């Protein structure tokens, strides 16, 4: 009987992309990666999902492509694209039109991200054009109008209030929507034709922001107990691997001013939401609803590893790395990637040795 594996790659900007790359290296070396049936990505994890599922088929070429992008970064490129005279004029007109009509902006900095991603081979693909046989993809964003998830997938794309998306969705659009961190990037506006369960069609405009607002771990579509009566993405899995680039808890200096207080309040709420998802996956494992799970957590404390590791990259070296898309130094990149590899290898050996057999 074939083992069915689901892989979730969390949000967290380039920190998540780099940490996820390390986890994928370990899974590849243990011959697990080629057995993954579905991969679910959020924000920085959606970028890695897209580069793996729609990029080079050879792992070494994929690895080189991701490493090159992380070293080069996206932020400087986005600034150049957004500040060209044509882009600036389009953004100004779009803002004026939105103010006058109360409609969404037709062009913004997030569209510059779409253009940057679409200029790369993986981003130019459609969501249906996965490069690995037998692999399903799910890239999630959050619709600001309804507060629901929008899930773009290789098998189908949908949002529960509206139904299945009929249109072909470019990979660049899905990743940009998933990665549109609200503080830095405006919501991405797209109009799609939807089909309800009764077959009727209608069109709706979505205002999409970071998928991490709804589910930063990317676990929701992989969890057992979901029903096709209520959810479009339902998977029957034996194992779930959650690659979580969260930094973990730590003390902070209480904010004195409004903007920082709001940021800290959001961070606390966001952390609580992620903790609930982490608790859910652990409960599923304890209840034996699946054969096994791995929670590869960047922010886990080093003394909690099941087997001590002498050369472990310490949590304190990487956990505070920012969640942006700026170019990474070689030392930062190596540290985050290697910690991802180390934790994944250790946890497979301790908790799911059958996966790496």
Name the active-site residue from 63, 136, 173, 210.
Answer: 210
Give the relative orientation of helices 330-351 and 13-29 as an angle to the nearest 10 degrees: 50
**Is the Cβ–Cβ distance between 341 and 318 less than 8 Å?**
no
User: Which residues are 136's β-sheet partners?
Assistant: 38
Catalytic residue at 210?
yes
Distance CA 222, CA 26 (A): 21
**Is the Cβ–Cβ distance between 222 and 8 less than 8 Å?**
yes
DSSP label of 227 = -
* Torsional sign, CA 208, 7, 14, 11: positive
Catalytic residue at 331?
no
Distance CA 166, CA 297 (A): 36
- Max Cα–Cα distance, the chain, nearest Å: 62
Distance CA 321, CA 155 (A): 34
Name the active-site residue from 40, 43, 157, 346.
Answer: 43
CA 5 to chain centre: 17
The residues annotated as belonging to the active site are 43, 210
């Amino acid at each position: 009987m074939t083992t069915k594996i689901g892989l979730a790659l969390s949000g967290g900007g380039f920190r998540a992309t780099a940490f996820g790359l390390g986890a994928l290296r370990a899974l590849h070396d243990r011959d697990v990666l080629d057995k993954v049936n579905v991969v679910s990505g959020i924000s920085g994890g959606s970028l890695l999902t897209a580069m793996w599922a729609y990029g080079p088929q050879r792992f070494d070429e994929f690895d080189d492509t991701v490493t090159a992008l992380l070293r080069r970064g996206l932020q400087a490129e986005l600034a150049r694209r957004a500040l060209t005279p044509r882009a600036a004029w389009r953004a100004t007109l779009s803002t004026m039109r939105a103010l006058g009509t109360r409609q969404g902006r037709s062009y913004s900095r997030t569209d510059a991200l779409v253009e940057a991603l679409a200029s790369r081979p993986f981003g130019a693909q459609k969501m249906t054009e996965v490069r690995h046989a037998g692999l399903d993809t799910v890239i999630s964003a959050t619709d600001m109008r309804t507060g629901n998830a929008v899930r773009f997938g290789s098998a189908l794309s949908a949002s529960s209030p509206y139904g299945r998306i009929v249109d072909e969705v470019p990979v660049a659009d899905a990743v940009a929507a998933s990665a549109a961190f609200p503080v830095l990037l405006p919501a991405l506006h797209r109009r799609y034709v939807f089909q309800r369960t009764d077959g009727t069609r209608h069109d709706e405009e979505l205002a999409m922001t970071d998928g991490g607002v709804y589910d930063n771990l990317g676990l929701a579509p992989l969890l057992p107990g979901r029903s096709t009566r209520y959810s479009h993405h339902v998977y029957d899995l034996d194992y779930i691997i959650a690659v979580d680039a969260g930094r973990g808890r730590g003390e902070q200096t209480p904010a004195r001013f409004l903007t920082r207080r709001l940021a800290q309040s959001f961070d606390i709420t966001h952390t609580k939401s992620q903790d609930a998802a982490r608790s859910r996956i652990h409960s599923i494992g304890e209840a034996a609803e699946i054969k096994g799970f791995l929670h590869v957590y960047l922010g886990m404390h080093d003394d909690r590893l099941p087997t001590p590791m002498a050369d472990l990259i310490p949590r304190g070296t990487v956990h505070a790395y920012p969640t942006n898309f700026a170019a990474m130094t070689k030392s930062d990149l190596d540290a985050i990637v290697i910690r991802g590899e180390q934790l994944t290898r250790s946890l497979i050996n301790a908790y799911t040795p059958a996966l790496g057999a």
